Structure 1
């Protein structure tokens, strides 16, 4: 999955990363990433891969956690159902998030992965219904619940301009990606300072979600240089995913 993401990113555009020294090589830790389009997944995975954080199950070799690490992202059932992406998602050890009650099952699987000392990636917005300026939307409760129950660091990651590769429905995103081969857009990505467990220990769930969102928004502001409007109320679903669906489809 990592090498495929690197190839796609090189084909469709460029990534300008910052703050990669904040990425953990070993867990337990959560990576919380903003989500605006299905086209932002390859640049994110490619950046992590190039920094030594491979999207896969830990290899448990002697140098694992030292010169490289591994991350397992939560992804929607639609990703796993895809004939092209599904096999890659399984090979990468992604955690499947289904509909409704299945979100709780996915959170348990993610919690178990953290208990084993792994790094788990999550898209707290849950879908790709982007705001006009691309600022992070209100986070769902799953990221707060996972962080609070596991008591592990949360690394805020934000990117900007991924929609220049492609955005909207799957068809529109793919169409945009084809033209980006010529346009060569640059995606700016920044990794923020990890949120320590003691910063949210004992806080109500809603406050934990707000803390994580505030930190991701801060990172997004730094990388985009834009102000962020009020995102509205949180959506109380259990888990988050990387959907392959269009902007109006919410897997949870």
Structure 2
């Protein structure tokens, strides 16, 4: 079954009864969901001991998706990132085989540059063979040359909602990583059952579906609905 996750693991009171009453927030979350997306890695560093504690808090089949630091994507803007990327990999290494996809979210102002992209993705792949996904927000990334380059380096395109660049119709195969930010109000709006059903039909067994509409507490509720929907199929 696809991995259904949320951005971070906050459990709102409205859905608390679906989770154990005792344990840390991550302990409780991981008894129901099989993955989580860590966004805090975009903003700051964490201690090695923090990652080790997280890894020890979850089942063996649980996975952490991790957002690349803004120093890589927004400050360096993919330029000369090898040392930063290596440091990031070293920092998250205590998660071991519980590391899931690495999320590269680019700023809306960063357009596709073939030379820059080729160098950056080669540097990433020289250091990391695992799953990397990319969420872009500049229309130039819709160009066939950009899509071909990502395929060359085995980097999966994120289907986001709202979708600033790649639409559902742009995926000839099931998207590996879907990020649902909330529509119409990003980070706040909850998804109705019909919307969740529609996204569920796009998922393959190895796909990830991440609810990022956390500001209103809707993410976990929507994730639980998605799990029910997938189990009915």
Instruction: Provide TM-score, normalisation by structure 1.
Output: 0.30
TM-score (norm 2): 0.32
Which fold has the larger relative contact order, with Cα–Cα distance below 8 Å and residues 6 or more apart in sequence? 1
